[in-house]
Amino acid sequence: MPAEFAELPGAALHLPGALLRYAPAFLAAAEADTLFAALRAEIAWERHHVRLFGRTLPAPRLSCWIGDAGAVYAYSGMRFEPQPWPPALTALRAHLQRACVVRFNSVLANLYRDGRDAMGWHSDDEPELGDAPLIASLSLGSPRRFLLRAREGDRGLALTLAHGSLLLMGGGCQRLYRHALPRTRAAVGPRINLTFRRVHPRR
C-alpha cells in the first residue's frame, strides 16, 4: 500500500490494483442512529432515471445529488445539478475530510427502502471524478451485501456493509472493478448509503 494511504481509516481489503479499506464501526451506534433519522427527514429524496440500452428507466432506489455550487455530475446518460448540503451532512463531511485528507465537494445519497431496492453492476468512472478517485462510502441502517468483481478475470469479494460503516475505494478500483448491491428476499429495513466524491469540472 502506498505510504500516503497508511493512515486512512479501517483495515485493508486485498484486490490487486485497488485501494480498499473497511471500517465497520466508523460511527458509533448512537451517532449513526441520529444521522440516519436526520437524513431521512432532511434530504429531498427523489426517483432518478437512468439510461440503459437506449431506454430511460426509473432507478430501483431513491436518490439525491448533493454538493458545492458547480459540482455537476453526469452518469447513466443523465445530468444532475447539486442540491445544497443539509445540516446533518455538514459535520460528517468535515469528519471524513480530516480522516481521508481529501476535500469532498459532493455526495450521492441513496435510500434503499427494502430488499427490493438495489444497485446493478457499475463503476464510478465518470471523467469528472478523475483517473483514480478516492470514494468514501458510508452506510446507515439495515446491513446489506456489497459485491466487487473484476472487469477481467474472476477476482472479487463480498462483504456486508454494517450500520455506521465506512468503505474507502481508491487507486485503480473504479478502473479495474465493478460493484453492486444485489436485491434480497430477506426482510430488511431501509438503508442509506452516502458516497462522498470530489468532482472536477469537465474541460
Q: Is residue 202 part of a domain?
A: no
Q: Which residues of 171-196 are buried (b: 16+ CB within 10 A; e: fewer)?
A: bebbebbbbbbebeeeebeebbbbbb
Q: Is residue 124 part of a domain?
A: yes
- Confidence at residue 3, expressed as pLDDT on a 0 to 100 scale: 41
Instruction: Give 203's pLDDT tier (boundaries 50, 70, 90).
Output: low
Q: Is residue 81 part of a domain?
A: yes
Q: Is residue 6 part of a domain?
A: no
Q: Is residue 23 part of a domain?
A: yes
- Residue-averaged pLDDT of the chain: 91
Read off the pLDDT of residues 117-154 as tens digits, 9 standing for 90 and up.
999 999 999 989 999 999 999 999 999 999 999 999 89
Read off the pLDDT of residues 80-106 as tens digits, 9 standing for 90 and up.
899 999 999 999 999 999 999 999 999
Give this prediction's pTM: 0.92
Name the residue range of residue 33's domain: 12-197
> CATH number of the domain that 40 lies in?
2.60.120.590
